[in-house]
Amino acid sequence: MPLGRPSQSSAPRGAAITAHPRPVAVVTGASSGIGAEFARRFAVRGYDLVLVARRADRLAALADELAADHGTTATVLTADLADPAAPAEVVRELESRGLLVDALVNAAGFGTYGPLLTAEPDRVAAEIQVNVTALTLLSRLLLPDLAASRRGILVNVASTAAYQPGPSFAVYAATKAYVRSFTEAVWAEHRGSRLRVLALAPGPADTEFFDVAGSDRFRVGQVLPVPRVVDVAFRALDRPSPPPSVVPGLRNAATAALAGALPRRLVLRVAARLAGA
């Protein structure tokens, strides 16, 4: 493979790369919240980590914590996933460090509260780039490694917002509907293989998410602690036949199912009222 360009093929990137003695998990959005918790859980399970986000200080602190608590080797990759070049650069960095990837968690993401009419266009573009495009490209570029691994795992973090449109957070809900649809399709493409693919669709969790979004008006649903959310993901992944997606929390799961069954006008009216649209 030519250096400086990640492989476009479906072959694992391993030919020129020495197998790592411990499995390796790449976690985006590892500087905070759900991504940081995934990193801790993989460390407990004996994985080495690659931590991806913009805030290098947070990633370095987590890397130190994982090394001290679990003897983990954690590589910090600082990347702004709103930059269209970032996914390929992340994969190039993995190659240059000789890392084959066994697990990928795409947790990086953010939302924005408010009507589309007044949304900042650059922020809209960045939201789609991070939540959709970067997630899709990292999934694609690392899929050959994941599929070749004896314990391949791909987790893409969607949201309960994936189950109905989101007045006052229209772009965010649409990006998460994409993540769910995309990930479930990839699940079907790998059904019967060793690769475990999961769309994790949490309801509200106590992270920095609502500060970044600019409001907690769309903090709608059953609030769960972050460790509970990640527990649910690992319980699903540990099943002999993992489901394509999982919604943590019985009430959140029931609401998501109901949203798919009720008339669209009614769903939109309720969604708008709950979000203060």
Distance in Å, CB of 108 to ligand NAP, minimum: 4
What would you measure as the largest C-alpha separation in the chain, in angstroms? 56
Binding mask 122-151 for ligand NAP (x = CB under 6 A): --------x---------------------
Q: Nearer Cβ to ligand NAP, position 242 or 248?
A: 248
Q: Nearer Cβ to ligand NAP, position 6 or 249?
A: 249
Residue 212 in contact with ligand NAP, rule: CB under 6 A: yes
Q: Nearer Cβ to ligand NAP, position 35 or 166?
A: 35
Q: Which strands form 153-157's sheet, in the order they lie side by side? A: 74-78, 48-53, 24-28, 103-106, 153-157, 196-200, 245-246
163 is catalytic: no
Residue 120 in contact with ligand NAP, rule: CB under 6 A: no
- What are the CB-based long-range contacts (under 8 Å, 24+) for 205-213? 205/33, 205/34, 205/229, 207/32, 207/33, 207/34, 208/32, 208/33, 209/33, 209/110, 209/111, 212/110, 212/111, 213/110, 213/111, 213/112, 213/113, 213/169, 213/172
Q: Which of 81, 147, 247, 256 binds ligand NAP (CB under 6 A)?
A: 81
Residues at the site binding ligand NAP, with contacts judged by CB under 6 A: 29-35, 53-55, 58, 79-82, 107-111, 130, 157, 159, 202, 204-205, 207-209, 212
